[in-house]
Amino acid sequence: MKENEIIFGGEINDVKVYNMFGQVVKYAPTRSSYSLDVTELPKGNYIVTGTINNEPVSQKILKD
């Protein structure tokens, strides 16, 4: 994660960002990109999920 942007290692689709309560706080269903702007999210821990090369991925991030 760089500043207010999550950088992915490849083109990612169907991105969801969950807070620690399991609620989806950001969703980008059809966007293919290598990064995601999370400026509007408050500081905290999040789980980011998505699909890279037709494989599901999940990563825990800390925004501070």
Q: What is the pTM of this model?
A: 0.84
Per residue in 4-57, pLDDT (tens digit) is 888 887 788 899 999 999 999 999 876 666 788 899 999 999 999 999 888 999
Q: How many domains does the chain have?
A: 1
**CA 9 to the chain's CA centroid:** 12
Is the distance from CB of 54 to CB of 14 less than 8 angstroms? Answer: no
- By residue range, what is the domain housing residue 24? 5-63
With the C-alpha atoms ordered 31, 37, 39, 44, is the resulting torsion angle positive or negative?
positive
Q: What is the model's pLDDT at position 34?
A: 78
CATH number at residue 56: 2.60.40
What is the predicted pLDDT for the residue at 52?
Answer: 86
